[in-house]
Amino acid sequence: MKIAVCIKRVPDMDMRFAIAADGASLDPSGMKFDIADFDGYAVEVALQLNEKQGPGESVVISLGPDGVQETLRKALGMGADRAVQLKADVVPFDGMAIAQALAAELKDGGYDLILFGRMATDSANQSVGPMTATLLGLPCVTAVSKLEIANGAGTAERQLEGASETVTFPLPAVVTIDEGVARPRLPSLKGIMAAKKKPLEVKPAQLGAARLTVARMELPADRPPGRIVGEGPDAVPELVRLLHDEAKVL
């Protein structure tokens, strides 16, 4: 199968973030970046499908400044066949603006399957996948935790609140990947060497107009400092008293 995977380069979420002087972005000093968690799962899904089903091509696509080339090389190191950078100096926050650029690139690509992460861990918009699918007029299943592809059709499972849904769809299709489908492999040394020679094409991103913009970024207010009520079972009566008298939740 010919599979495209859209991957975003995002800051490492384990870092301690600081807000930049403009008040509307993160201070980039010392920031480390990596492929967004769910996008890594999506790359793994593409690789496994092509490994299982015989000859195919896995193409990774990332929109952003030249820094995304590092992310694309990582995916190539995992085993993707080629990469496309849709070059933009700044990645807009507006999912629709990004979706328009991705749809323009994917439209005539002849892909059987287009994979996204369920959401990018930075923007957490959870919208670029289904928006791109809608612009392309392709069937789309989001937040998939199980996926099977056979005979030109797919079966997927998604989690709802307190239930799960089984969904069928024909190819070509767009699927956004939740966790649970596949744990991403680490690029092997051999993979990293091979990745250096794999094609990485750079094209201008045809971004749509950004109508959703960031006005401000803040660190969340700390929860008021809590307290350790005590140690061991002897602290239970005091905890229950506090829940009743002070917090009034009992």
Partner 1 sequence: MANTFAFAESRGGSLRKVAFEMVAAARQAADATGGGEVHALLIGGPGVAAKAAELGQAGADVVHVVEHAGLERYNPEVFAATAAERIKAGGYRAAFFAASAEGKDLAPRVAALLGVSLASDLTGFSIDGNALTGRHPTHTGKIITTVTLTGTPAIATIRPGAVRADGAAKAGTVHAHAPALDPAAAKVQVTAVGAKGDAKLDLGDAPVIVSGGRGLREAANFTLVEELAAAFGNAAVGATRAVTDDGWRDPSTQIGQTGRIVSPELYVAVGISGAIQHIAGMRTSKVIVAINRDKDAPIFKVADYGIVGDLFEIVPKLTEAVRKARG
Ligand X SMILES: Nc1ncnc2c1ncn2[C@@H]1O[C@H](COP(=O)(O)O)[C@@H](O)[C@H]1O
**Residues interacting with ligand X, by CB under 6 A?**
6-8, 36, 38-39, 61-64, 91, 95, 98, 116-117, 119-120, 123-129
Q: Which residue lies nearer to partner 1 by CB, 79 or 92?
A: 92
- Decide which of ligand X, partner 1, none touches 106; Cβ closer than 5 to 8 Å per partner kind: none
- Decide which of partner 1, ligand X, none touches 6; Cβ closer than 5 to 8 Å per partner kind: ligand X
Q: Give me the residue whose beta carbon is nearest to ligand X.
A: 117
CB of 229 to partner 1, least distance (A): 5
CB of 220 to ligand X, least distance (A): 19
Instruction: Give the residue ranges of DSSP H helices in 8-87.
Output: 37-53, 68-78
Task: Give the alpha-carbon dihedral of 180, 183, 184, 186, to 10 degrees.
Answer: 160
- Decide which of partner 1, ligand X, none touches 62; Cβ closer than 5 to 8 Å per partner kind: ligand X
> What DSSP letter does each residue of 153-174 carry, written as one string?
EEEEEEEETTEEEEEEEESSEE
Which pair of tokens denotes residue 167? 């969904």
CB of 222 to ligand X, least distance (A): 26
Burial class (CB in 10 A: 0-12, 13-18, 19+), 186: exposed
- Decide which of partner 1, ligand X, none touches 133; Cβ closer than 5 to 8 Å per partner kind: partner 1
**Residue of 114, 133, 111, 131 lying closest to 123 (CA atoms):** 131
Which pair of tokens denotes residue 178? 């939740």
Q: Which residue lies nearer to partner 1 by CB, 15 or 202?
A: 15
Burial class (CB in 10 A: 0-12, 13-18, 19+), 39: buried
- Decide which of partner 1, ligand X, none touches 26; Cβ closer than 5 to 8 Å per partner kind: partner 1
- Decide which of ligand X, partner 1, none touches 44; Cβ closer than 5 to 8 Å per partner kind: none
Cis-peptide into 172, omega within 30 deg: yes
CB of 132 to ligand X, least distance (A): 8
CB of 210 to partner 1, least distance (A): 8
Q: Which residue lies nearer to partner 1 by CB, 9 or 158?
A: 158
Q: Which residue lies nearer to partner 1 by CB, 189 or 221?
A: 221
Q: Give the DSSP letter of residue 139.
A: -
Query: Is residue 108 within a helix (H) or strand (E), and if so which, with residue range?
Result: none
